[in-house]
């Protein structure tokens, strides 16, 4: 198995989203609210160039925040975050308490 895939397959939570750069965080938050979006919808929402949006989406996919679904009709992007109920605080939080 490819090590890059293993690293990117680490499940992310909403806490991890807060660490993203502003524009990427806004894109992820919007995708979470929409549930499933197309490239054109992201471009329309962000008012950014297609190349910039594609770069953001690929980066977010590789980091494990969203996933790409290839439907027979279109390519969709949807959140790939763990359920908040299952998430746990990072261990270093307990050290600081």
CATH code of the domain containing 44: 1.10.10.10
Identify whether the C-beta of residue 38 lies closer than 8 Å to the C-beta of residue 50.
Answer: no
pLDDT at 19 (0 to 100): 85
- Residue 9 structural domain: 3-96
When pLDDT is cut at 50, 70 and 90, the band that residue 39 belongs to is: very high
Structural domain count, the chain: 1
- Helix (H) or strand (E) run with residue 70 in it: strand 66-70
47 sits in the region (left: phi over 0; alpha: psi -120 to 50; else beta) called left
Integer Cα distance of 69 and 1 in angstroms = 21
pLDDT beyond 60 at 8: no
Q: Which residue has the higher pLDDT, 13 or 69?
A: 69
Q: Rounded to two decimals, what is the model's pTM?
A: 0.71
The pLDDT tens digits of the residues spanning 42-92 come to 999 999 999 999 999 999 999 999 999 998 888 999 998 776 554 455 666
């Amino acid at each position: 198995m490819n090590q890059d895939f293993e690293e990117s397959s680490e499940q992310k939570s909403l806490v991890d989203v807060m660490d993203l750069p502003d524009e990427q965080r806004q894109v992820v938050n919007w995708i979470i609210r929409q549930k499933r979006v197309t490239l054109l919808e992201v471009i329309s929402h962000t008012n950014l160039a297609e190349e910039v949006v594609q770069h953001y989406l690929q980066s977010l996919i590789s980091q494990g925040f969203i996933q790409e679904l290839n439907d027979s009709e279109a390519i969709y992007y949807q959140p790939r975050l763990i359920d908040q109920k299952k998430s746990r605080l990072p261990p270093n939080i307990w050290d600081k308490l």
